[in-house]
Structure 1
Amino acid sequence: MTYSMNEGYDSYRSVDLEARAAAASPYELVLVLFDGLLDELARARGHIEARRFQQKGRSLEKCMNILNGLSSALDLDAGGQVVQDLARLYDYCIYKLSEVSVSLSLDGLDEVVGLLGTLREGWAGVHAARG
C-alpha cells in the first residue's frame, strides 16, 4: 500500500482542524468551519479544472455537509430576521453547489466562494469585537 503526499496532507489537516476545533470558542469554531469550507471549495475548484470528477463530488459533498451543520446550529426562533436570512443564504449556497456538481460551472462555484468569504469576514469582525 502506498501513502501519497496528498493523503499525508489530508491527515495533517484533519488533525490540525480537530485540534483547532477542540480549543475554540463558539465564534472561533464558526471561523474554523468557514476556513475548512473555503479550503474545500478551493480543492473542489482544482478537481473540476483537472477533471477529477470523483474527488470533485467528495469535495462538494463535504462543503454541503459543513453548510448543513452551520445551518442546523442556527437558532431560528431567537435569532430574528438576520438568522432567517443567514439560513436562506446557507440553503442557497447548498443549492448552488448541487448545481455546480452537475454543471461544473466555475462561475457558480466562485459565486458561493464570494458569498461565504464575505460571511467569514463578518464572523471574524464579530469575534474581534467580542474579543
Structure 2
Amino acid sequence: MHKAANAYMQTKVTTTTPGHLVVLLYDGAITFLEQSKEEILAKNYAKKGILISQALDIIAELDGSLNTDKGGEIAQNLHKLYMYCNTRLLQANLKMDTGIVDEVIGILSAFRSAFSEISNNQAYQAPPKAASYYAR
C-alpha cells in the first residue's frame, strides 16, 4: 500500500503545473504542523520535533525556489515571511507552544489560498506531444 501511495504522489508531482506544485508544498507543511500540534498535546516531543523539522524543510524549499531577480519586491517579502515562519517554528519547537504553530499555519494557509487562486486562474499549456512535433 505504501508503494502505491508513493507512486501516486510521484505521478501527481511530475504531472502538475508549477503553481499547483507550490500548493502541494503548502499542503504538506500545513499537514505536518497540524500533526505536530497533536504530538505536543500528547507530549510526544520527539515526534513533534520531526514533524516541525519536516515543515521547516518544506518552507526552506519554498524559500529556495524564489527568484528575486524576476520576483523583485514580492519575492523579497516572501523570503522575509518565510524567515519569520522559520523563527516562529523554532520557538514553538522549544516552547511546545501550539499557539505559535497555529500562527504559522495561518500564514501558510493564506499563501496557499493565494497560490491556489493564481494557479487555478492561469491557463496551463501542456508541452507539445512528440507525435505533433515529428508530424511537421
Q: TM-score, normalised by structure 1?
A: 0.87
2: CA distance, partners of 1:75 / 1:36 = 22
Letter paired with 1:118: A
2:83 paired with 1:86: no
Match of 1:45, SS state, is: helix
Q: Deviations over 1:27-84 (max 9, x none)?
A: 1110111111111111111111111111001000000000000000000122111110
Aligned CA RMSD, in angstroms, stands at: 1.7
Q: Which of structures 1 and 2 has the larger relative contact order (alpha carbons within 8 angstroms, sep 6+)?
A: 2
Letter paired with 1:70: L
1: CA distance, partners of 2:73 / 2:9 = 31
Q: Deviations over 1:66-109 (max 9, x none)?
A: 00000000001221111100011111101110110000111101
Q: Which residue of structure 2 aligns with residue 62 of structure 1? A: 54
When residues 39 and 53 of structure 1 are mapped into structure 2, their CA distance, relative to the original with a 3 A threshold, is: same
Gap runs ≥5 in structure 1: 1-7
Q: Which residue of structure 2 aligns with residue 75 of structure 1? A: 67
Pick the aligned partner of 2:98 from 91, 97, 106: 106
- The number of aligned residues is 123
CA contact (8 A) 1:17 1:32 kept: no
Work out the percentage of aligned pairs sharing the same amino acid.
24
Q: Deviations over 1:105-125 (max 9, x none)?
A: 111011000000000000011
2: CA distance, partners of 1:49 / 1:92 = 24
Match of 1:24, SS state, is: coil
Runs in 1 of length 4+ with deviation above 2 angstroms?
A: 11-19
Gap runs ≥5 in structure 2: 124-136
Match of 2:30, SS state, is: helix
2: CA distance, partners of 1:118 / 1:107 = 17
